[in-house]
């Protein structure tokens, strides 16, 4: 009896088969947020930059509190230095989010170049291995995207971060919906048979 209860998900625990609607709704909501972020990429990018500034300030404060609480620790001086740098960097980002957005775009270009080169290098060593073509294509795509962002820089700083964040949210939302649809119980997929008239 216990095994039947556990397998059907009626024991009060979480079951994807029972909660697929919740996952699907969450996926749709995240997907819509992604579309909104893609519609206003400049606002999204500035919002991400401001959030980064807040996190830097908060992280600096945490480091400072820890350094003050552990003054006898040999690493306290480094904690204090890290706290000061984090707070100053966070304040600088919050004071000029547009400038910080440009810096983030440059960091994104550098990341795409490194990622693309690493994937292409990995693909060259995978002679005859499955998935080699996919990795090579991904590497080429990263390098091409980095080149496009660099050619259009600094104009690309206005939309690159926001657009990529929006695409990521949209893909995540679609993935959640796909998982939810795949987890639906059979009775939710197949319409119930009509009852006989004499029933």
Instruction: Provide CB contacts within 8 A for 162, sequence distance 6+.
Output: 37, 38, 40, 41, 42, 43, 44, 45, 46, 48
Q: How far apart are CA 188 and CA 172, in angstroms?
A: 24
Confidence of residue 94 (pLDDT cuts 50, 70, 90): very high
Sketch the domain layout of the chain as residue ranges.
18-184
> What's the distance, CA 10 to chain centroid?
33
Contact 116, 124 (CB under 8 A): no
Digit-coded pLDDT (tens) for 145-176: 889 889 888 888 888 888 888 988 898 888 88
Per-residue pLDDT at 36: 93
**What was the pLDDT predicted at 186?**
62
Q: How far apart are CA 70 and CA 75, in angstroms?
A: 9
Give me 106's structure tokens: 């440059």
Query: What's the DSSP call for residue 195?
Result: P
Confidence of residue 7 (pLDDT cuts 50, 70, 90): very low
- If one counts every other C-beta atom within 10 angstroms of the C-beta of residue 171, the result is 13
Bigger pLDDT: 5 or 16? Answer: 16
What is the model's pLDDT at position 59? Answer: 92
The answer to whether the CB of 23 falls within 8 A of the CB of 14 is: no
**For 101-134, how does the pLDDT look when each residue is reduced to its tens digit (9 = 90+)?**
998 889 889 988 998 899 888 888 877 777 778 8
Cis before 154? omega within 30: yes
């Amino acid at each position: 009896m216990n095994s039947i209860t556990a397998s059907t998900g009626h024991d009060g625990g979480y079951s994807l088969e029972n909660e697929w609607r919740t996952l699907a709704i969450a996926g749709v909501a995240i997907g819509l947020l992604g579309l909104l972020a893609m519609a206003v990429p400049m606002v999204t990018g500035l919002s991400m930059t401001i959030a980064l500034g807040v996190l830097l300030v908060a992280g600096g404060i945490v480091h400072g509190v820890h350094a003050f609480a552990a003054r006898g620790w040999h690493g306290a001086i480094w904690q204090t230095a890290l706290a000061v740098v984090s707070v100053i960097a966070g304040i600088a980002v919050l004071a000029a989010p547009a400038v910080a957005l440009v810096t983030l775009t440059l960091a994104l270009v550098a990341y795409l170049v490194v990622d693309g080169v690493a994937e292409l290098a990995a693909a060259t060593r995978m002679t005859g291995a499955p998935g080699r073509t996919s990795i090579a294509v991904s590497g080429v795509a990263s390098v091409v995207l980095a080149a496009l962002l660099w050619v259009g820089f600094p104009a690309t700083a206005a939309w690159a971060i926001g657009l990529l964040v929006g695409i990521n949210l949209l893909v995540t939302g679609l993935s959640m919906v796909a998982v939810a649809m795949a987890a639906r119980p059979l009775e939710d997929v197949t319409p119930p048979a009509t009852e006989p008239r004499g029933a």
